[in-house]
Structure 1
Amino acid sequence: MLLSIATVLAAYLLGSVSTAIVVCRLSGLPDPRSQGSRNPGATNVLRTGRKGAAIITLLGDSLKGLVPVLVAHALGLEPFWVAAVALAAFLGHLYPIYHGFQGGKGVATALGVLLGLNVFVGLAALATWLLVAALARISSLAALTAAALTPVYMYLLTGETWYVAAGAALAALIFWRHRANIDRLARGEEPRIGKS
């Protein structure tokens, strides 16, 4: 029990490390919270014109979701605790203790979490994002569609109740963090990929 709780806590603390803020500081770039959408994520880092920094941010955000879940598996934790670790890492990104609980929208971290829970679910979510992004050219719509389908993928590919619950929680939180995007989508004002 103590090991499980410690792993959940460690997952949250790792998730709380803002890759975007760290990368921007090390690269001499403006704080991502002070420009663009003010969201500390890869998309906002990309707005600086530094694709390399954005890619590193994307990978870092994904890894901080993936690694804790893989560790939980390696420790032989039961599905409930693995799901708890996954959610803790994700919540760390959304509400980081190191940055005033003001984090990113969680899409890259969610991908890492899903790949850790079940690689096929993660790949299905990624494929959904890529397909919708290619067709609609709207990143937020792609993320919301992938999130909405995640619990379905989890149920079909794992059948594990706690993983399905974790997938549903991830989806709900992603929708919550994309409230402004949903509002713009409803008004037809959400920008398309590659355009301001």
Structure 2
Amino acid sequence: MIKVLLFAVLAYFMGSLPNGVVIGKRVKGIDIRDFGSGNSGATNAYRVLGPKYGIMVLVADVLKGFIPVMLADMAGIRGITLILIGIVAIVGHSLSLFLNFKGGKGVATSLGVFLYLIPYVMLVVVAAFILVVYTTRYISLASIVGAALLPILTLFMPIREGIDRPSIFIISLLMGLFVIYRHRTNITRLLNGTENKFKVK
């Protein structure tokens, strides 16, 4: 129990790391939340800081979901407990200890968690994400599509040994709904035709 608690704390701490805010202050001397969409995640970092630093934030946010789950797995934590540690990392990103319990929408960190737990599913989700961005130029729409596909694909695609399929389905469904909920303002803008399109710099 103590081991699980320690990894849960580690996952929340790592998830809470506000990479976009830190990198923005380091390289430009600005808080990216004061610009663009006001979000601390990779998409806004790309818009405000440029491609180089946007990609840097994306990779860092993915890793803070991937690493805690990988370390917990290496320490012998399995099943639903391993999945929950990943969820803690995602919650940390969205309710960051360092940002007065505010944060990003959890897409990149969720990608990191599920990339470790269900890599084949995530490859399809990422492919769908890229396709939607390429055809529509809407990052938010691609994130919503990916979140909706995630639980559906867990029903029939291969998953990591030791991961219970019903459990990962329920968790992926809840996380998919959480990500979609975090995009509720984007959904409104998409419906109104006022959502910002992704522009390659």
Q: Name the TM tier (shorter chain).
A: over 0.9
Alpha-carbon RMSD across the aligned residues, in angstroms, is: 1.5
Of 166, 173, 189, the residue aligned with 2:171 is 166
Q: Is the 8 A contact 1:112 1:122 kept in 2?
A: no
* Secondary structure class of the residue paired with 2:156: helix
Q: How does 1:38-77 map to 2 (within 5 A)?
A: 38-77=38-77
Q: Is the 8 A contact 1:45 1:53 kept in 2?
A: yes
Structure 1 CA distance for aligned equivalents of residues 75 and 165 of structure 2: 18
Per the alignment, residue 144 of structure 2 pairs with: 144
Q: Over residues 132-175 of structure 1, what are the superposed CA-to-partner deviations in whole Å (9 max), with x where a residue is unaligned? A: 11222211111100100101112222361221122112111111
Indicate the percent of aligned positions where both proteins have the same amino acid.
33
Partner letter of residue 195 of structure 2?
A: E
Q: How does 1:122-141 map to 2 (within 5 A)?
A: 122-141=122-141
* Secondary structure class of the residue paired with 1:47: helix
Bigger shift: 144-153 or 160-169?
A: 160-169
Q: Is the 8 A contact 2:65 2:112 kept in 1?
A: yes
Q: How does 1:22-101 map to 2 (within 5 A)?
A: 22-101=22-101
How far apart are residue 49 of structure 1 and its match?
4.3
Which sections of structure 2, spanning at least 5 residues, go unmatched?
none
Structure 2 CA distance for aligned equivalents of residues 73 and 154 of structure 1: 19
When residues 86 and 49 of structure 1 are mapped into structure 2, their CA distance, relative to the original with a 3 A threshold, is closer
* Secondary structure class of the residue paired with 2:197: coil
* Secondary structure class of the residue paired with 1:180: helix
Per the alignment, residue 187 of structure 2 pairs with: 182
Provide TM-score, normalisation by structure 1: 0.93
How many positions carry a matched residue from both structures? 195
Q: How does 1:108-119 map to 2 (within 5 A)?
A: 108-119=108-119
Structure 2 CA distance for aligned equivalents of residues 29 and 119 of structure 1: 37
Partner letter of residue 190 of structure 1?
A: E
How far apart are residue 13 of structure 1 and its match?
1.0
Q: Is the 8 A contact 2:12 2:88 kept in 1?
A: yes
* Secondary structure class of the residue paired with 2:101: coil
